[in-house]
Amino acid sequence: MNFYETDRAIAEYLLFHYGSRELLLPYAFGPLNALNFPARCVTECLDPARLPTSARALDLGCAVGRATFELARFCSQVIGVDYSQRFIETAGHLQKHGSIDFEYIEEGELTRRGRAIVPDEINRQRVGFEEGDAMNLRIDLGTFDVVLMANLIDRLSNPLRCLQRIPGLVKSGGQLIVTSPYTWLEQYTPKENWLGGLERDGQQIKTLETLKLILNPAFEFSFAKDLPFLIREHARKFQWSVAEASVWIRK
């Protein structure tokens, strides 16, 4: 069973994307700067000054859609694409109704009811969600001023195949934002397709360096930065990770 189709994943990602500080991390000693990851992918990586007036954005591997909605603060049309049917159904519900009720784990079998809410000021009419495979996207998606790939590449069986399509999706001067904690696992990606995290011919391969090789010469590397994020498993268990965000400008 694909984890991203499970009840547990829906609840974890709804909390991850929409959960309040009080609900997610009611501990004063917790890593508060790891909250609001999907919004920070946009606020800390996108340069709004580079966008045309009617910008188009694509959020590849959008999950339950928070970053897709956040992109709509700056872009008049945003498409969120994900392979998980249930994530896309959930994101579609949020687009239509602005909120969704769900149940999340507190401890063991004990659960609580929560409500994920899209911030009121975001124009949800700008956003659409669809199922799709990032390694085999429909050919008529068009081109975009922004493409965001947040924590996607290390969940693909063939990330290179996905990245090879990207130059054709980004308009000249457009921005590509790639974030990943580079958690390469054979469960998702056969080792021969890892972009980093292993040795080849006695050389240590780092994912950012491979991204530079793949994305050059179509893109100019702009900058990289650390983006911490926190996924709550239950009231007393969290995954704290540090994604590396890299930002690229289409030549």
Ligand X SMILES: C[S@@+](CC[C@H](N)C(=O)[O-])C[C@H]1O[C@@H](n2cnc3c(N)ncnc32)[C@H](O)[C@@H]1O
Residues in contact with ligand X by the rule CB under 6 A: 4, 38, 61-63, 82-84, 87, 133-135, 150-152, 155-156
Smallest gap, in angstroms, from Cβ of residue 155 to ligand X? 4
Q: How many CA atoms lie within 13 A of 249 on its CB side?
A: 10
- d(Cα 210, Cα 117) in Å, to the nearest integer? 38
- d(Cα 154, Cα 134) in Å, to the nearest integer? 12
- d(Cα 231, Cα 31) in Å, to the nearest integer? 11
Residue 177's closest CA among 68, 54, 36? 68
140 or 201: CB nearest ligand X: 140
Smallest gap, in angstroms, from Cβ of residue 129 to ligand X? 11
1 or 49: CB nearest ligand X: 1
Structure tokens at 158: 């063939």
The residue type at 203? Q
Q: How far is CA 248 from CA 22, 215, 251, in A?
A: 35, 8, 9
84 or 210: CB nearest ligand X: 84
Smallest gap, in angstroms, from Cβ of residue 151 to ligand X? 4
Smallest gap, in angstroms, from Cβ of residue 157 to ligand X? 7
DSSP state of 136: S
Smallest gap, in angstroms, from Cβ of residue 107 to ligand X? 24
- d(Cα 166, Cα 211) in Å, to the nearest integer? 12
52 or 142: CB nearest ligand X: 142
Structure tokens at 166: 């990207």
The residue type at 147? V
- d(Cα 35, Cα 19) in Å, to the nearest integer? 9
Smallest gap, in angstroms, from Cβ of residue 246 to ligand X? 14
95 or 199: CB nearest ligand X: 95
122 or 135: CB nearest ligand X: 135
By CB neighbour count within 10 A (0-12 exposed, 13-18 middle, 19+ buried), where does 166 fall? buried
Smallest gap, in angstroms, from Cβ of residue 220 to ligand X? 24
28 or 139: CB nearest ligand X: 139
